Amino acid sequence: MTPPIIHLIASRSKTGKTTILENTLPVLKQRGLKVAALKGNLDHYELDLPRKDSWRFASAGAEIAGLTTEDSYILISSQLDINGSEAAAKLLKDLDLIIVEGNKKTSNPKIEVVRSDLNPEPLLLPNTIAVITDREDMKISIPVIDINDPLALANFICTRVINKKGQTESLTEKPGPKDRPDFYDQRGLTHFDQSGRPKMVDVSAKEQTVREAYATGEIIMRPETLEQVIAGNMAKGDVLGVAQVAAVMAVKETGRLIPMAHPLNISSVEVDFKTVKNEPARIEIGVRVKLAGQTGVEMEALTGVSMAALTIYDMCKAIDKDMKITNIRLIEKKGGRSGHYRREQD
């Protein structure tokens, strides 16, 4: 089955089609899509000029000609019965989508670019399914997408093109209103603005609910090191007592340590340790965090576990530099729009 093809067109050149495509491709890739981006309706391409090597290969009868480097390749071919985009689609059948920049004459779905300073009126050719524009006053019967919003364009492509072609539902947005300010929370893209720059998520519209997260981790050490910890004989003092305080402090400081995490009014922190003498000797760490607020506390629980493990390492490194911090993971979270999560396997 060949992937769906859409064309990004405009009534004239220099409208920014390449930049729009360049900004949208990373978003589509982050959503798990394999996308081919092609230039369409060209009179020729440099590789195929007469007397170039690729032209000579094709003239000699090669079905496909091209060039390769150690990490990339360019292929050239042609079929008399179909145009270049359809021929490419047959070769690219394992991809999810083909976006072609250009070719207004195609019968494939088209998305038109309209700029107020260059081509203020849309062509609205047959099979145009959306318009991308910087005009705020455009009133047409098909969707209008902000020219500076690659997330909105990616969302439109996923819902209108990919899902329409019968692709898996996981590649599209979850059902629901598309005008919510937190809509992109559902795609895991909330820490980037419309230009792809990092941002702190706006949670002001979210409902305050009781939220809870539990994370665990472990630090593996020599059996004799663990015995010293249990006996309380470490030179720096009570290892687990200090690690417990470190975990609580780290939970409260997560908003300062993790760039896009919110400063939170934590209501409860519980830290537990389990010493395991069986091979491998280790200390298992658990941190449970609670609050009533507008965002979850997974990062706080994970940060608490990490800092407890680092503190144990710091207090024991004089006698055991081979200790290994490992398996830090979220076990459970409760509250918020995503509901209850419980890790099924360790």
pLDDT computed for residue 2 by the predictor: 76
| Structure confidence at residue 44 (pLDDT) | 56
Q: pLDDT digits over 215-272, tens only? A: 999 999 999 999 999 999 899 899 999 999 999 999 999 999 998 888 899 999 999 9
Structure token pair of residue 108: 């494939």
How far is Cα 150 from Cα 194, in angstroms, rounded to an integer? 6
Residues of the chain with CATH 3.30.70.640: 209-342
Say whether 53 is catalytic.
no
Is the pLDDT at 197 greater than 70, yes or no?
Answer: no
- The pairing of strands 144-146 and 128-133 is parallel
User: Which range, 75-89, 166-180, 273-287, is most confident?
Assistant: 273-287
> Is 5-187 assigned to CATH 3.40.50.300?
yes
Is residue 8's pLDDT more than 70?
Answer: yes
Of all residues in the chain, what percent carry a pLDDT higher than 90? 47
Average pLDDT of the segment spanning 178-198: 48
- What whole-number distance in Å separates Cα of residue 333 and Cα of residue 288? 9
> Residue range 128-154: average pLDDT?
92
Q: What is the pLDDT of residue 173?
A: 38
9 close to 102: Cβ distance less than 8 angstroms: yes
Query: Considering the domain 209-342 in this protein, what is its CATH number?
Result: 3.30.70.640
**145 — pLDDT class (breaks 50, 70, 90):** very high
Q: CA-based diameter of the chain, in Å? A: 83
**Token pair belonging to 72:** 């990339």
- SS3 label, residue 36: strand
Residue from 48, 314, 322, 346 carrying the catalytic annotation? 314
Inform me whether the pLDDT recorded for 3 exceeds 90: no
Of 76-85, 153-162, 296-305, give the range with the top mean pLDDT.
296-305
CATH 3.40.50.300 in the chain, residue ranges? 5-187
Q: Of 136-140, 147-151, 170-174, 205-209, which gets the smallest average pLDDT?
A: 170-174
Residue 79: its pLDDT value, please? 60
Q: Please say if the pLDDT value at position 68 is more than 60.
A: yes
d(C-alpha 286, C-alpha 215), whole Å: 6
Q: For residue 169, is pLDDT > 50?
A: no
Peptide bond into 150 cis (omega under 30): no
- For β-strands 35-39 and 97-101, DSSP reports them as parallel
Q: What percent of the chain has pLDDT over 70?
A: 80
Spatial CA neighbour of 145 closest among 108, 171, 178, 188? 178
Q: How many CB atoms lie within 10 A of CB 141?
A: 5
Measured distance CA(331)–CA(336) in Å, rounded: 16
Question: Cα(130)–Cα(258) distance, rounded to whole angstroms?
Answer: 39
pLDDT of 48 above 70: no
